[in-house]
Amino acid sequence: MSSGTKKELFKVRFWGARGTMASMAPNTPRYGGNTACVEVNCGSETLILDAGSGLRLLGDEIMKRVKRSDAAGEKRKRLNLLFTHCHYDHISGLPFFAPFFDPKARIDIWSGHLEGPDKTERMVLNYMRPPFFPVGPEVFSAKLRYRDFEPRDVLRPCPGVKVSTMSLDHHDNCVGFRIDFAGRSVCYITDTTHNPEAIDERIVEFVRGTDLMIYDGTYSDAEFPQFWNFGHSTWEEGMRISQAADVKRYCIFHHRPSRSDAALDRIAAQCKAKFRRSYVAYEGLQLKL
């Protein structure tokens, strides 16, 4: 809890910023090709948003930290992995997350986009099964808890952390998150489309005043007419929402597989010219809140 003198650590780190599918290509060495995975540190707690291919590298990093804290005799923390939805680009890293194979790890997996009972467990069982994958989650040795919620629920995954949720406009449903901790907040709004005629007031209200909004900038406004029914939005729409909702910092996320580093640099410059405190997510980008 906040002592009032020292600002508590609240930090976001991108392990995968690409959408749709992983794309390792010679023209994307800086932004990277791994798909959606964002680590959020709230004090000593770790939340993970989505399990795209970036999750594998985060898992290796977490195991290094665990080794250090075990050596120092520190108490182990529970990890919380929150799914927006389970399209492949948001789940493909799941079977390769090293902490799942650590018997001392305690991991809560959350989802709210599907219907019916036991939806989070069903999601994992359906993803990890032959003939698409050789083994099921029974190979994991960590203590797992599957935790279901409904969009609009407020989650309390760990002390001092409040996670608000909302449903987004996406094929097969998707959930947006707002994480509030120590008087600051970050919003994760990815895999959502928009109506070019009218701003999405639900999102504007949800993200109002946040310190950082991460948003689905898959397309540009110029590309959007061609892809209007693909379930994604534009980086310009994220900027308009940021302006309307008094968002302090805005981060473009979920890049098209075909976007080169040069193309993303151009988007970054165009966006910054209109919204100074904006970023284009890349693997390794860390933002302190």
Q: How many C-beta neighbours within 10 Å does residue 193 have?
A: 24
In the complex, the smallest distance separating the C-beta of residue 18 from Zn ion, rounded to whole angstroms, is 9
Under the criterion CB under 5 A, does residue 87 sit at the interface with Zn ion?
Answer: yes
In the complex, the smallest distance separating the C-beta of residue 171 from Zn ion, rounded to whole angstroms, is 7
Under the criterion CB under 5 A, does residue 59 sit at the interface with Zn ion?
Answer: no
Residue found by looking up tokens 């599907």 in the block: 114
Q: Name residues contacting Zn ion, limited to 13-32 (CB under 5 A).
A: 19
Under the criterion CB under 5 A, does residue 256 sit at the interface with Zn ion?
Answer: no
| Residue of 148, 191, 200, 283 that binds Zn ion (CB under 5 A) | 191
**CA 106 – CA 60 distance, rounded (Å):** 16
Nearer to Zn ion, 41 or 233 (CB): 233
Under the criterion CB under 5 A, does residue 89 sit at the interface with Zn ion?
Answer: yes
Nearest residue to Zn ion on Cβ basis = 87
Nearer to Zn ion, 45 or 191 (CB): 191
**CA 37 – CA 93 distance, rounded (Å):** 9
φ/ψ of residue 174, rounded to 5: -160, 155
Nearer to Zn ion, 87 or 255 (CB): 87
Query: CA distances (Å), 228 to each of 72, 142, 195, 234, in order?
Result: 52, 41, 9, 10
In the complex, the smallest distance separating the C-beta of residue 54 from Zn ion, rounded to whole angstroms, is 12
Nearer to Zn ion, 109 or 144 (CB): 109
Q: Which of 240, 229, 178 is nearest to 40 (CA)?
A: 178
Query: CA distances (Å), 267 to each of 113, 239, 259, 281, in order?
Result: 31, 12, 10, 11
Q: Which residues bind Zn ion (CB under 5 A)?
A: 19, 87, 89, 191
